[in-house]
Chain A
Amino acid sequence: MSLALYRRPGGVIFLDDDRDYLEMLAEVMPPDWYVRLFLRPVDCIEQLMQEPARWEADAWTQQEIINRWREGAALIPQILRYWRDDGSARFAFTRVCVVDYAMPAMSGLRVLSELTGWSGSRVLLTGRADEQLAVSAFNRGLIEQFVPKQSTDIRLRLNDAIQSLRQLADARHQQTWRATLTREQHALLCDPAIAKALENLILRQGWIEYVVIGAPFGVLALDPKGGVSWLQLEPANKLPELAEMAASQGWDAATVQDIRDGKKLIDLELQLALGTRNKAQPRPAHAIAGEPTRLFAALFSVHDDHSPGFMRSYERFIATRGERKLQD
């Protein structure tokens, strides 16, 4: 699997005709998910069908960043501005819709089929008798997953299913951000070992949103509190170039040698892009998977002046959603 080039947290919607069941589902789903509950299919459909237009506008905003980049504007400040301007609206998009199959008003599959144009993932909750039906729905591509409602470990199964769907790369985003990568950069990211190592790194850092860009090459990431980090990526064959740039900036020979050896990286390009007066700093680098090493990475934090800040953070977004209540 290749790395998602753009990822952000998405909401989860549950639709079931059983109030108690919904409320308990909400209770056991991870607290850092944006969860909405619906009892009535019509309300759920109405809510979801408002999303495609906003989603389209958001995707266009991202595309425009690329367009301006082609005309010479730097990517990083544009992305930071996009995050700041958006506030937390983009966190409210629904990524996964979980629907009970057996509902009196409308079957779960009917509901899902009404969601034309909504691009999120669909999960069907099934009773014992509906399994065959779910398999055929899956085979016909109507749903991404189905989870039997009576399975004893329903919480874990749902959790895993939804989490993996939330992590899924969105095709549109993938296409948009692919444009900033060179062929060599893309090839590196497609290496399964490298993709996996980066994925783990992102997970360990606890970043909730990030974008992989090619100019400069790295991952611009947002943590739950609205702080921004820059994971600078440097292909092994580009190290001498970076070392020379460091030397020309007047760094001492030892640092320049460390950069040449892949022991340190320096955020020259980041500071250039941000247009700050801050001097670039060398940071310890480490190898990202593979033998011989083809890619090095070093982590830099971006000053709070440039970050969206806590008021626009995901953590605050979740905190202000209030208790997970039924929408009726």
Chain B
Amino acid sequence: MVRSARFHVRLAQHPLLQWLRKELMLAPLEPILHPSPWRLWWLGSTIFSGNALFAWIWSVWLPQPYESLPLRVLASLLGCILMTRRINHDPGNRLAQWVFGLVFWLELPVLFTWMYLGNSGNAVWLATMAAMVLIYYHVTDWRLATLGTVTGSLLAWALFQWLGPVVPPVAADQRAVHAVVFAFAWSVALMLNLSSANLRRERLASTLATMGIMAHELRTPLSTAALIGDAIGLEAQRQSDPTRALHLDKLALRLHTLVRNMNHQIDMQIANAKLLQLPRHAERVSAAMLVHGVVTAYPYPSSHQRECVKVLIHRDFTFRASATQFSQVLDNLIKNALHSLMAADSRYPEGALRIEVGLLRERGRIVLSDDGMGIEAALLPQIFKPFFSSNRGTGHGLGLAFCQQVVQSAGGSIHVKSDYAVGATFTIELPIASV
């Protein structure tokens, strides 16, 4: 405790240390920069054809002292992995990230250092090594690239000593020159990557902040609208004609409902926009109470929609999370489901949206299933990403990202099963809080 307190005091005194901590430890790791299936496929195909092309160039057209066909074939095949659908269809999952990292580590620092040593550090391979460093920092997080460059070249050097052909070493008088060129390439790559990582984070943060401000700004006219509703209600009381009074009362009620619904929406959007800075706070939450509370308080656009929601409590459980945030998770999921039912032109039969609470294998489950439009299988892997939305026109694509963030911070997981036109089932699994 004391040591950690001291550490924090020292941290506070040193802006440089603080900055380092922020960049090195706190910034989220991005193993694949600008991930998209298309980019992954393209990178894979470049590796595949590039290795073939350069194997021919360096051995036939512009022969170099050392070139290895088996190595080139192996490297080419590695590129094929990235072109498989299993890896590139969801660049966000763990497996894709690991495979991507491994492929590029082997392709770039390991293979290139081997070739550089094999050619005794000639002009071609000095230039290629410099290009390799720049490329590496363009495809992955700067922390991974730095670690990869160091470990990859050391491994290649050790392997080369052990298994490599016997070739003259890099000329002694050239070593300093090479060191300067590498240092230059490496420092520029590091700097560029670091600054663009910052830029990306700032953009996301500022977009989210803008949404928060917008939502906040809407509240002021809304509170005026609520007062207008009150004024109409008072006017109704002053009316002597009962039918007119009733009519005015109805208008006032409509206005109030509208204001309440919009405020609810704003709360939800503000919560979603805090995606990057969710307060860490946990309390014991009863799943059944949470579900009942949210279902009762949800501002349904129509009574049909309210009546189509069916809650089934098989077995209640408690978990540790922020109750407010979790209510907003359920709000988001209900909103999506109702939206999807509307898109499917549903007549809202009872149970068109089912919310079940139960236990399975020592874990608590909250399951929301709807008979709505469903989600196309191709889109499924991406729906939890910020700013991904299946309906570009109306959604900003933060809702599910928020849900995932909150569920994960409670130690749980959220999954979706769906296909086009067959509805969707969202399953939240949570660790049960010990008594």
Interface residues of A (CB under 8 A from B): 18, 20-21, 24-25, 27-28, 127-129, 149-150, 152, 154-155
Chain B residues near A154: list those with CB within 8 A: 223, 226-227, 230
Chain A residues near B216: list those with CB within 8 A: 127-129
- How many of B's residues come within 8 Å of A, CB to CB? 17
Shortest distance between the CB of A156 and any CB in chain B (Å): 9
Report whether B223 and A149 are in contact in the complex, using a CB–CB cutoff of 8 Å: yes
Chain A residues near B259: list those with CB within 8 A: 152
19 contacts between A and B (CB under 8 A): A18-B224, A20-B221, A20-B224, A21-B220, A21-B223, A21-B224, A21-B227, A24-B227, A27-B227, A127-B219, A129-B216, A149-B219, A149-B223, A150-B219, A150-B222, A150-B223, A152-B260, A154-B223, A155-B227
Report whether B256 and A25 are in contact in the complex, using a CB–CB cutoff of 8 Å: no
Chain A residues near B263: list those with CB within 8 A: 150, 152
Given contacts A127-B216, A128-B216, A152-B256, 18 further A-B contacts (CB under 8 A): A20-B221, A20-B224, A21-B223, A21-B224, A24-B224, A24-B228, A24-B231, A25-B227, A27-B227, A27-B234, A28-B231, A127-B219, A128-B219, A129-B216, A149-B220, A150-B222, A154-B230, A155-B227
User: What is the CA–CA distance of A326 and B64 in the complex, to the nearest angstrom?
Assistant: 87
Chain B residues near A128: list those with CB within 8 A: 216, 219
User: What is the CA–CA distance of A155 and B226 in the complex, to the nearest angstrom?
Assistant: 9
Interface of A is mostly: helix
Q: What 7 pairs across the A-B complex have the smallest Cβ distances?
A: A24-B227, A155-B230, A27-B231, A28-B230, A21-B224, A20-B224, A149-B223
Question: Would A18 and B227 be within 8 Å (CB), given that A28-B234, A150-B263 are in contact?
Answer: no
Chain B residues near A20: list those with CB within 8 A: 221, 224
Shortest distance between the CB of B50 and any CB in chain A (Å): 54
Shortest distance between the CB of A28 and any CB in chain B (Å): 4
User: What is the CA–CA distance of A326 and B134 in the complex, to the nearest angstrom?
Assistant: 65
Report whether A28 and B260 are in contact in the complex, using a CB–CB cutoff of 8 Å: no
Interface of B is mostly: helix
User: What is the CA–CA distance of A152 and B260 in the complex, to the nearest angstrom?
Assistant: 7
CB-nearest residue of chain B to A22: B224
User: What is the CA–CA distance of A319 and B232 in the complex, to the nearest angstrom?
Assistant: 22
Chain B residues near A21: list those with CB within 8 A: 220, 223-224, 227
Chain B residues near A149: list those with CB within 8 A: 219-220, 223
Chain B residues near A127: list those with CB within 8 A: 216, 219
Report whether B220 and A28 are in contact in the complex, using a CB–CB cutoff of 8 Å: no
User: What is the CA–CA distance of A20 and B221 in the complex, to the nearest angstrom?
Assistant: 8
Chain B residues near A18: list those with CB within 8 A: 220, 224
User: What is the CA–CA distance of A135 and B220 in the complex, to the nearest angstrom?
Assistant: 21
Chain A residues near B219: list those with CB within 8 A: 127-128, 149-150
Chain A residues near B231: list those with CB within 8 A: 24, 27-28
User: What is the CA–CA distance of A150 and B234 in the complex, to the nearest angstrom?
Assistant: 19
User: What is the CA–CA distance of A27 and B259 in the complex, to the nearest angstrom?
Assistant: 18
User: Which residues of chain B (127-161) have a CB below 8 Å from chain A?
Assistant: none
User: What is the CA–CA distance of A20 and B231 in the complex, to the nearest angstrom?
Assistant: 13
Chain B residues near A129: list those with CB within 8 A: 216
User: Which residues of chain B (212-247) have a CB below 8 Å from chain A?
Assistant: 216, 219-224, 226-228, 230-231, 234
Chain A residues near B256: list those with CB within 8 A: 152
Chain B residues near A155: list those with CB within 8 A: 227, 230
